[in-house]
Amino acid sequence: MQDREEFFRHLAWDIEGLALKSERRGLVPAVRLDGTADIKWESQRFGPERKTIFETFPNVQFYDYTKWPADKRAEIPANYHLTHSRSEDNEQMILDALAFGRSVAVVFSTPTKSGKRPAGKLPLTWNGYEIVDGDESDLRFLDRPGSVVGLRAKGKAQNDDSGFVVQVKEGEEHVISSNDYQQLVAKMEARVIEFA
């Protein structure tokens, strides 16, 4: 679409439809604006009132991934969550984002004992920060501030040697997925009943 204003009209129309549908179902609408472009949406204004998409839809939760430094995206609206993406050449920037209280996404190799991937477990921590399993949900705005979102290498990334994928060392402690946790709790509850 060539016309920027026309694009924003279509975007606003789609978000309005989602917001109405969500409201009827008692849900909070969530929109991930960017797939790959890494646009600074917080500075994009449109329409006769020159509002941002966040001002236009204050009751919609927006979220994205970005490779911009945290200090270049410091003015983030309350209904917009950014997760900074680690790559092979921006690790210091990612550590700065964590210090700024932002969430970051890090891709890990996750070999299993059989050597099959990507089903392996994520490490517990990265550079001293606790890891949450980012493959369980894409709803990053639900993560606590300053989270390291662990993602398993998939596709071509499974064979990456550029430094983009953080190599998990054998013997590292691992994150317990929510399924594993639920199974562990069920086993513990069964043992408690056995001993009671």
Helix, strand, or coil here: 81?
strand
Paired tokens of 183: 């199974």
Does the N-terminal peptide bond of residue 118 adopt cis geometry, omega within 30 degrees of 0?
Answer: yes
| Residue 79 near residue 60 (C-beta atoms within 8 A) | yes
pLDDT digits (tens, 9 = 90+) for 87-100: 999 999 999 999 98
Average pLDDT of the chain, as a whole number: 85
Q: How confident is the model at residue 182 (pLDDT cuts 50, 70, 90)?
A: low
Does residue 41 surpass a pLDDT of 90? yes
Q: What is the pTM of this model?
A: 0.79
One DSSP character per residue, 22-67 reads HHHHT---EEE--SSS---GGG--BTTTTB-HHHH-TTSEEEEEE-
165 or 114, which is more confident?
165
Does residue 183 surpass a pLDDT of 70? no
pLDDT of residue 161: 87
Q: How far, in Å, CA of 88 to CA of 4, rounded?
A: 33
Q: How confident is the model at residue 115 (pLDDT cuts 50, 70, 90)?
A: low
Q: Measured between alpha carbons, how far is residue 111 from residues 8, 105, 106 in Å?
A: 43, 19, 16
The separation between CA 22 and the C-alpha centre of its own chain, rounded to angstroms, equals 21
pLDDT of residue 166: 93
